[in-house]
Amino acid sequence: MKIFEIIGGAVLLLSCALIIIFGLMQDQKQDQNMTSAITGGSYDSAYSKNEGNTKEAILKRWTKWLMIIFFIVTLVVTIVPVYLK
């Protein structure tokens, strides 16, 4: 096994573990349903307008970038060794 494959595998394991951790740390999305219609629940609040700076938005952003890294590293680790033989 070449050093390239070892480093690629380590990056894949790390990014996969972080994607799982960040995914579990995110809050569930609350859908508007009949209960919110009856109780008067609304999404027009100051919290929803500043949603880009919240913990959930930061976790979502990091998760997105980790998924992109995971996808690219997976392609590189899979395709590059074929051409290096």
Give the C-alpha separation, 38 to 42, whole Å.
Answer: 11
For residue 60, give the nearest of 33, 13, 24, 10 by alpha carbon: 24
Give the residue among 31, 46, 17, 24 at the shortest CA–CA distance from 9. 17
Query: What are 38-66's pLDDT values in tens digits?
Result: 665 555 555 555 566 788 888 889 999 99
Residue 26 in this model has a pLDDT that exceeds 90: no
- Residue 81 CB-density burial (10 A; 0-12 exposed, 13-18 middle, 19+ buried): middle
Report pLDDT for 5.
84
Mean per-residue pLDDT, 71-85: 87
User: What is the value of pTM for the model shown?
Assistant: 0.67
Is the confidence at residue 84, as pLDDT, over 90? no
Q: How far apart are CA 71 and CA 85, in angstroms?
A: 23
